[in-house]
Structures are given as C-alpha cells and as structure tokens.
Structure 1
C-alpha cells in the first residue's frame, strides 16, 4: 500500500553548542536579546519531515510516496532518494528557488534553536493529492501553509484516511483553520507543546479534539505517548534508547512507525508502540536519516520491547 507523505524536503545544517542555552539567555533581558553561539561542530544532512518520514517507513518495508516542492539545488537529494528506492513522481522542482533549508543549533541539554527558510516549500499547493494513484493512506506534515490546507481538503475529498501533523507549521493557522483540518482528518499527532497550543487556539480540550477523530496522539519525549481513542486514554511508554546522540528527526521517525502500523491494519496502540521504538532507534544516531537497522533488527527490538511481532 502506497502511503502519501505530504510535507517538506529540506537540507538540515546541524550545529552543536558545547554549553547550555540557559547559561546565556537571561530571562530578565529577553527584550534586548543579542546572543551568539560558537558552534565548532557542524554537519549538513538530508532532512525535511517528508524525507525523514519516508526514510523511516522505507526501513520498515513500507511504500512511501513523497509529495513536495523543491528548488534547483535538489540534485544531491534526488540521487539519495534514487539510492533508497523512494519514488519521486510527485516531487516538483521549481526554478529560481532553493530547496527548504533548516539551521538547527542543539545544546548539551538537547534543547534546540531552529531557523527555517521555506524556499520552494511555499509553493507546495502546486501539488494535488488527486493526481496520485493507488494511495490508501496519507499524512499532512509541516509544509507551506496553503499546501497543508489544500492537501488536508484533498485527502478528505478523495476519501483517503490521513494523519494531520501540523508540527512546526502550527503558528501558520488560526483556530478555525485548525478546527477544519481536524474535521477532515482521521488521526492527529502532536507533541506536548503543540497539544497545548492546539487547545489554546481551538478552545477545545484534548478529549473534545479526540472525539472528532479515530485517534489523537500526544508525544511526550522520554515520558512516552498518550493516545486518546474511543473515549479512553492509553499510555504507551517510551523505549529506552541505547544512547542519546541527537533528537533531530525523532518525531519524524515516530511518524514513520505510526504510518507503517496504520498501513498494516494494526490498532493505534500497537502502531504507536512501533513508533516509540523508531524514535528510540533514531535518537541513538546523529542526523535524521543516518540510522540504518535492518527490518529484522527492528523486529527483534520490537519483540524485546513490547513482546509483539512486527
């Protein structure tokens, strides 16, 4: 089953600050903030939520199909997707633009400060879900504002179940727009901060939001995930990681596991257990797409963590 992943493809420049932001950002002087962080370590990675989710879904043996807009500098990423065997049928290259660029600085507490240039992503509405074939499941991740609204509308119109994952795109929408996307969506996934913001903007409680969906997932980092489904709240514990190397892309790894489970017809709880494992596997490696366990290795870890078969 092809899973359509609507979202960004981006180049990530990841820098490590060998100290803690809290030692340099003074709360009483935020109004005159002027700080500079020396970052001796820097690397450039392939990223973007659509690319990261597709990478993790492919590790699991899934069939990811990316829908995104990119710039003239896309060629290195194109070659990578070719090597991974991920189709580029619905990746549109736009002239005179850059592919989206993300600049991430991480401190020793794994806090992050991110600057993002959307580039070609701002024209993601040039792509249409109705142009695809054989898609039975989808996700709308962080992307251009108009594209996220359109793709949510398109999934609903085509009768294709999808996950609404506003992520870093949350500030782009007002309360009514978020309510509309929730009405169209089948599932919604948020981290704990995004969940708070969603409630604030829509005026709805998490229970009320979940009542409109087949399931609401709120991830809480090392504390695991809370699933709101069928009027109940189910807690899925976090999987213990071998090491904490880099949080960049952990949420996308989680979503790759979630989509694999949903595409396989699993319950939301079992799907989120696999999602939790994929997040733990990712955080043990630097960069969003450098972990590369075999499917058999993932299956063995899943059995060890949850006693279930992949």
Structure 2
C-alpha cells in the first residue's frame, strides 16, 4: 500500500473555445491601437485543470494516494464532488469565501493560435493553506502563486518531507535567487528542456551543477524522452510513442504523477522516470488534462510492454 503524497499547486477550470476562422483575418495590424473584435465560437468546453488537480488525478489512476493542497473558490463544488467520487482526499482543498477558483479562458483558431486570459482567484491566497502536520512520503510544489510555492516548500522542508520543485508555468515569477532558494529546500527539480535553459541562465549554473545539490534533476524533452541527472551522472530515458497526438495540455503533470508514484514505491530514479514518460504519452492522446481514464491494469500492461516493468 502506497503512502500519501502532498500535491501543492493550483486547481483551476479551463474554458476552451474554438473559433472556426483565423485571428489574422480579423485583427488588423494598423488598428491594434484601437482593438475591438468579437469571435463566434460554436464549440466550447470546460475542463477540470490546474497543476495540483491534474497531478492528483493521474496519481489516482495509478493507485496512489494524492492529497491536493490548493485554495479554491465557492464555485468549485463540482470539482470537489468529482474528486470525492473518485476517492481522492480533498481535506486540504481549502475554499476561500467570496472568491472564484482560478480560471483560464482560451480561444483558439484554425491555425492553433491562442488568445488566453487567466484569473488567479483563490489561488492568490494559497500561502494561507498551511500543510503543517500532514504526513506524507513525498510532496511536490507545482505551479501556484509565488508566495504559496515558497510557503509550501518551507513547510515541507521543515517537516522533513522530501519534495519535487516543479517550476513550470510559474517560471516568470522566479528570478535566479528565488530558484536557488527553492533548490536549497527541495530534493528534486523537474523542468522541461526550455525551462532548464532558463534556470541555467538565471542561476548562472548548469543543470549538472545544480543536480549536485539535489537527489535528482529530471529534464523532460517531449517526444525525445527525458534526461535524468543523479549521483553525478546523466541518463537518457527513452520516450514512449503515444497512440495519438491530440493535446499536450497536462502532459507534464501526468509525468510528475508517474515519477511520484514510482518514488513512493521505492523504485529507482530510472524506473520512476520511465513511468513518468508513459503517463505523459497516455495523456497526450486525449483532449483535456483529466479526460483520459485508462485502467490501472492497462497502464501496467503498457509499462511492461515498453520497459519490462509492472505496477505492483
């Protein structure tokens, strides 16, 4: 039986609308100073999202025990109900009165261009959600408000709970000193290849140098797999070819869930990363961050076929 994992990060709603034309045909370059446009969007959907929500969902698929640590608004009743029905512990999903849950509104056109607006809502008060006293084998500090990420990192460190620092979409909020502070508190750094280059630039240190201060650094590289830095060496982790490429939204979160589950099982870093790559490949074949629903047996079968590993 696996131990609880504290999943610190955002819980949000994603509203995606599809414009069946092209923005460039309606946004005139010589009229941008007085922009006033409207798009008819006959296709629209609302997804459950946010990094903590996505990671928790994927960890649940694997049979783990996610405990999402997030602040939500009064409009998140359906999100809470969904997680309760799935059997996910919602005890650390704190409702902030008179606020809305973080929400992203995305309009995309036929050329896959996007216009987005993000309302942080209750996420801005995530630092108030104190996880002190919670028991867990591992934790993760995923994108959230900057204050919340730093507060969660300090609390996890003070309690001796090892955790992953997942910079992700919070990258614009953290300068070099902030990143160094988080690395000093964490055991693992997870970034994609672009984020890795930004981290190197802002800290003035290579990923290999930063890995010397941590148990591991994992750099994901999309269809090229991942690179694992641990114990003074780096190792290429093979990608998993997905059944289809539909939507990359939430693939990084699915990867983190696989990595965390492997760590709670006591697997090697290499094997945990392989499970992470598999979970990312499963997610990309489905539209939306939490709409894929493979059985645990199906995941285990794919894991064995790809890497010769089994879920216990």
Fold shared per TM-score above 0.5 = yes
Which residue in 2 is equivalent to 1:51? 53
Q: How many residues align?
A: 307
How many angstroms does 1:5 deviate by? 0.3
The 2-side partners of 1:37 and 1:212 are apart by 50
Counterparts of 1:210-249 in structure 2, within 5 Å, are: 210-249=211-250
Q: CA deviation at 1:139?
A: 0.1
Which whole-Å CA distance do the structure 1 matches of 2:241 and 2:24 have between them?
26
Measured against aligned partners, the alpha-carbon deviations of 1:44-83 in whole angstroms (never above 9, x if no partner) come to 0111111110000000000000111011101111111111
**Pairing partner for 1:117 from 107, 116, 119:** 119
SS at match of 2:286: coil
Q: CA deviation at 1:227?
A: 1.0
CA distance in structure 2 between the partners assigned to 1:188 and 1:167 by the alignment: 11
Any gaps of 5 or more consecutive residues in structure 2? Answer: none
Hey, what does 1:148 align to over in structure 2?
Answer: 149
2:15 match: 13
- The separation in 1 between residues aligned to 2:243 and 2:18, in whole angstroms, is 20
Q: Which residue of 1 aligns with 2:131?
A: 129
TM-score by length of 1: 0.91
Closer/same/farther in 2, CA of residues 38 and 155 from structure 1, 3 Å limit: same
Q: Are 1:83 and 2:88 an aligned pair?
A: no
Match of 1:3 in 2: 5
**RMSD of the TM alignment (CA)?**
2.4
The 3-state SS of whatever aligns with 2:267 is: coil
> TM-score with structure 2 length normalisation?
0.91
- Equivalent of 1:73 in 72, 75, 82: 75
More displaced 10-residue stretch of structure 1: 152-161 or 110-119: 110-119
Q: CA deviation at 1:15?
A: 3.3
* Residues 161/22 of structure 1: CA separation in 2 closer, same or farther (3 Å cut): farther
Cα displacement (A) at 1:154: 1.1
Report the CA distance shift for 1:110/1:254 in structure 2 as closer, same or farther (over 3 A): farther
CA–CA distance in 1 between the matches of 2:182 and 2:59? Answer: 24
Going from structure 1 to structure 2, the CA distance change for 1:230 and 1:290 (only over 3 Å counts) comes to: same
